[in-house]
Amino acid sequence: MTSSHAILRQFLAILFCLGLLLAVPALANERPAIMVFGDSLVAGHGLPQGEAFPDILGHKLAKAGVDVRMINAGVSGDTTAGGLARLDWSLAENPQAAIIVLGGNDLLRGLPPEASFVNLDAIIASLRGRNIPVLLAGMQAPRNFGADYAREFDAIYRRLVAKYDILFYPFFLDGVALQPDMNLPDGIHPNAAGIDHIATRMLPLAQKLVGAIQMR
């Protein structure tokens, strides 16, 4: 009887050790995941593999001691309507937080600002309904679009921030737009220096976003 108990204890000890070994990779995969949801500014148009905005922001977070998994959910050419249409399948990777960078293509197409507001509102509402903290990166309309259009478009982001009380980076291309040394030859998409500039400036807010995950 004693021998049987000893064998049982050894068997249970082996199972326990195996359980710990199996748990190690599982724990390693439990890093918070941040989805960067946007258009070509996120996808990394014209940049080498691994140098898109989500990659560089992830590197800067890691250097700051914040271990996260970055999800590049950028689709070139996407409007706010396109983003809304693909939101559900973009969430298949189960992000714990989201950075939204949408609206630039709405501007390029001269779409009604109120339609952009409605789409972004639905995206944020869906994320918040899933208890996913949000950092919204705004866009600004070129002034040659007309004062009224620019005023109405710029306001949609402030309206959303006021409604949902979310983290806000007012202009994704701040310090980069219209700077030749910060952009690719097309004058629209940031080059490596531009991406680094944006990621550096957004880093403090990204750190707050990670903190919001931990407070859920």
Active centre residues (catalytic): 40, 186, 189
Q: Three-state DSSP class for 170? A: coil
Per the CB < 8 A criterion, the answer to whether 80 and 120 are in contact is yes
Give the DSSP per-residue string, 54-79: HHHHHHHHHHTT---EEEEEE-TT--
The sign of the torsion formed by the CA atoms of 65, 69, 72, 73 equals negative
Please provide the distance, in angstroms rounded to a whole number, between the alpha carbons at the two ends of the chain.
Answer: 51
CA–CA dist 20, 23 (Å, integer): 5
3-state DSSP helix/strand/coil % of the chain, to nearest 5: 60, 10, 30
